A and B are shown apart, each in its own frame.
Chain A
Amino acid sequence: MAGSAPVAVDADRGAALERGFAWLAATDHKKTAAKVGIASLFFFGLSGLLALTMRAELAQPGLQFVSDHTYDELFTMHGSGMIYLFLTPAALGLGLYLVPLQIGASEIAAPRLALFGFWIYLAGGLTMYSGFFTNSGAGDDSWTATIPLSNSTGSPGVGMDLWVIGVALAVLGSLLIGICILLTILRLRAPGMTMLRMPVFSWTMLATVFMVVASFPVLVVAMGLLLAERHLGGVFTGSTGSIVYQHLFWFYGHPVVYVMFFPFVGAVGEAVATFSRKRFFGYRALVVSLLFFTALSMAVWGHHMFITGAVRNQYYSLTSQLLAVPAGIEYLDLIATMIGGAIVFRAPMLFALGFILQFLLGGLTGIILASPPLDYHVNGSYFVVAHFHYTLFAGSLFGLLAGLHFWFPKATGAMLRERLAKVSFWVLMVGANLTFFPMFFLGYDGMPRRVPDYEPRLGDLNLLATIGAGVIALGVLLVLINLFVSLRRREPAGNDPWGAQTLEWWTTSPPPRDNFTSLPEITSYAPLLDRLEAAEEERERRGAEVPA
């Protein structure tokens, strides 16, 4: 007995290790997606801590905690981390998990490619962050790495090289995952799952991966060229070099904004339909508007270059403002889905409403930025910082949390704590607006982006934003505690805890290796709701036939 105990422990440990390796090497799309999700959450935490450090420095004018150079690393790695390593992969990871389940597929197309994409992305993220351990420090030229500041003279050192390589790898990894999702949608839909019966979320993913496939390769190439410029020179030179780089960068840099937006419109759409007990309103109009949006998204990048005097401002102003049309249709459809419903306020619905109302401020201020005479004032200011945090944080992150709270029971088989979820929603809502609303005024009043120090007259609004950042940190902590508690002391979810409408709720929670053991007849984009309504009608007919 005494001698056999350590052996048993070793065997246990060995088995656990083996299971761990098996999980890491597993090509099941659900496990690959979980890996992407966990990695992106890790980078969200790191990049969020950088933001908190920045807000601490900005609480008061003057330099208190960090040097000029450290601050440059902070905002560079915060922005790069959030865009390249968190929101983009998280959006694609959500698609990797859900699309096969929503379209009734047992697997993704090219599962090994998706797994490879994950490892490439993870390697890219770690490479980018490893710059902090070099003498020169991490990348310090913002998430856009504008030429000529990002060449070997402007930003010398291996940390910046690691940043360039890291971005290339992370974006390449996201691209590979996007390709797998595209192939899955085109090739592996279940019998009866026509394109116009795909759920709303899957349609937003299709539009997303169109943009991924069209724009991400351009950034991978641009990063390759930037690396060549840094080590060989002669790539982005002369009076046009810096402009050419900006064209390449923003050709990726604007579509990626919608890559971090569309999937969350889809997630919010599914939550709103489910908790309004109604099918999504205006499905076909949404599909048309998504495709229109996608096409336009490839033609607006020059609005990031209005002040350069090197692009045709009128053209990009026109295309950018036209985005209001498909965006307006999406809003109409979301609101019209609620109207006439029987709305239930569960946590995913609250986060969805937060997305709808807060993203609106980001979208409307985006129209302001699309007008050159207005951009000439607010470009490069905190107004822009406020604008894109309303889209990416108060918008996309709330959409992601709507999706997380909605699909967590499906992926884990356990319910999240509802009350804790609602508390975290309200804390995040207060924190987001306290942090980002003052920034509109800061920018309008003359505070530029990417500065560790500012005029004393701007101190009060900055302090308010810093307090808000603390509230956000508390909210995020509550979400993490909820995930942890709900996984430790599980409340079983069952197949369909919400009374939802799409195929992923037909199978078990979590779904088996091959996703489905059976499929219902696929009659529309809300097959489970179709069954429910058919059953209701059947009951009523019976009731009418048999008088009481």
Chain B
Amino acid sequence: MADTRGDFSEVWALYLWIGVGVAVVVFVAVGFALVRYRARPGRRPSRVAERNALELGVATLILAIVALLVFRTFHTEAEEDNSSRADAVRIDVDAFQWGWKFTYPGQGVTVVGNSNREPSFAVPAGRPIAFTLTSSDVIHAFWVPGQRFKRAAIPGRVNHFDMEFDDRGREQGLCSEFCGLRHSAMRFGVWVLSDGSYERWLAAHR
């Protein structure tokens, strides 16, 4: 599975709406307390100071919500951890201060660029892309906000992950791990092309 954007959206919707729900409950409860129990002449504060059944009930309820969230997270995480399919397009990414090198193994294609000249690489739309990611110097991170996904580029380590780009056009990518002076200009583009255009792009860059 490599549909990072779809995976993100499903999990996000669950977390966001549960979060909004909890926030509404708390805001309403606080608002109710402030209006209903504001000091007025003759109001005597209650002396109830403990309701352990209530505490246990709320703890159990939260635990149940957490169990739901964790279950959903683990399910998606397991899918994203699944390794590449055989037909995946392979791209090796090497990050450095302050640029990127994209290599297509076996294709004789390499794209390099830095903070002065932003590199752009191409992928075929709708096909799984198997990335390897590493760094030549310090820690960077490969982030494509449109795909809702990033991974750290760590010197001496190689991270593997799959992505799938569905909509043709250009995606903006960037480094999201502070890596020194020109960090903010360490960007890259992703051309998401049809199969035919992708082959022509490869041929043009050999």
Q: Which residues of A contact B (CB under 8 A)?
A: 68-69, 72, 141-142, 146, 148-149, 154-155, 238-243, 276-285, 307-310, 313-314, 317-318, 321-322, 324-325, 328-329, 331-333, 335-336, 338-345, 353, 356-357, 360-361, 364-365, 367-368, 371-374, 376-377, 379-381, 445-446, 448-455, 533
Contact = CB atoms under 8 A, between A and B. Distances in A.
Contacts of B182: 68
A324 B62 contact: yes
Contacts of B154: 239, 242-243, 308-310
A321 B70 contact: yes
A257 to B, nearest CB: 19
B193 interface: no
Given A309-B152, A338-B34, A142 B23 contact: no
B26 A331 contact: yes
Contacts of A365: 19
B92 interface: no
A237 B30 CA distance: 52
A340 B139 contact: no
From B39, B47, B138, name the one whose CB has the most chain A CB atoms within 10 angstroms.
B138
B65 interface: yes
B45 A341 contact: yes
Given A317-B74, A339-B33, 17 more contacts: A68-B181, A68-B182, A276-B37, A281-B48, A282-B49, A283-B49, A283-B50, A284-B50, A325-B59, A328-B62, A368-B12, A374-B15, A376-B4, A379-B141, A381-B176, A446-B172, A448-B175
B127 interface: no
B22 interface: yes
Contacts of A454: 184
B150 A380 contact: yes
A377 B29 CA distance: 32
Given A309-B151, A338-B37, A365-B19, A329 B58 contact: yes
B150 A360 contact: no
Kindly list the 7 A-B residue pairs having the minimum CB-CB distance in the complex, ordered from nearest: A239-B156, A446-B145, A340-B46, A451-B184, A380-B176, A338-B33, A377-B148
Given A309-B157, A342-B37, A373-B80, A68 B47 contact: no
Interface in B157-194: 157, 159-161, 172, 174-185
Contact of A380 (B4, B59, B63, B141): B141
Contacts, number: 242
Contact of A277 (B27, B39, B52, B80): B39
B149 A377 contact: yes
A332 B51 CA distance: 11
A530 to B, nearest CB: 11
B199 interface: no
Contacts of B36: 339
B69 A371 contact: yes
B30 A376 contact: no
A325 B77 contact: no
24 contacts: A149-B139, A154-B180, A241-B156, A276-B37, A277-B39, A277-B45, A281-B51, A309-B151, A309-B154, A322-B66, A325-B59, A325-B63, A328-B58, A332-B58, A335-B26, A335-B30, A364-B19, A365-B19, A374-B15, A376-B151, A377-B149, A380-B141, A446-B172, A451-B184
Contacts of A325: 59, 62-63, 66
A143 to B, nearest CB: 10
A39 B137 CA distance: 38
A394 B52 CA distance: 30
B169 to A, nearest CB: 15
A448 B8 contact: no
Interface string B74-93: 10110010000000000000
B157 A239 contact: yes
Nearest to B175: A448
A182 B77 CA distance: 41
Given A341-B45, A379-B150, A148 B138 contact: yes
Contacts of B114: none
B145 A377 contact: yes
Contact of B23 (A360, A381, A446): A360
A69 B171 CA distance: 28
A314 B77 contact: yes
B177 A380 contact: yes
Given A154-B180, A325-B63, A449-B178, A341 B50 contact: no
Nearest to B41: A342
Interface of B: 4, 7-8, 11-12, 15-16, 19, 22-23, 26-27, 29-30, 32-34, 36-40, 43-52, 54-55, 58-59, 62-63, 65-66, 69-70, 72-74, 76-77, 80, 137-139, 141, 143, 145-146, 148-152, 154-157, 159-161, 172, 174-185
A332 B33 CA distance: 12
A221 B76 CA distance: 37
A345 B38 contact: yes
A503 B7 CA distance: 54
Contacts of A381: 143, 145, 176
A342 B30 contact: no
A367 B45 contact: no
B137 to A, nearest CB: 7
A336 B176 CA distance: 42
Nearest to B142: A307
A429 to B, nearest CB: 14
A265 B149 CA distance: 35
B118 to A, nearest CB: 12
B40 A371 contact: no
A336 B47 CA distance: 12
A235 to B, nearest CB: 15
A278 B45 contact: yes
Contacts of B66: 321-322, 324-325
A342 to B, nearest CB: 4
Contacts of B161: 309
A452 B23 contact: no
A357 B30 contact: yes
A39 B30 CA distance: 35
A335 B33 contact: yes
A374 B27 CA distance: 25
B11 A373 contact: yes
Nearest to A279: B49
Contacts of A335: 26, 29-30, 33
Given A154-B180, A242-B154, A343-B39, A353 B8 contact: no
A277 B154 CA distance: 56
B46 A341 contact: yes
Contacts of B155: 148, 239, 242
Nearest to B157: A239
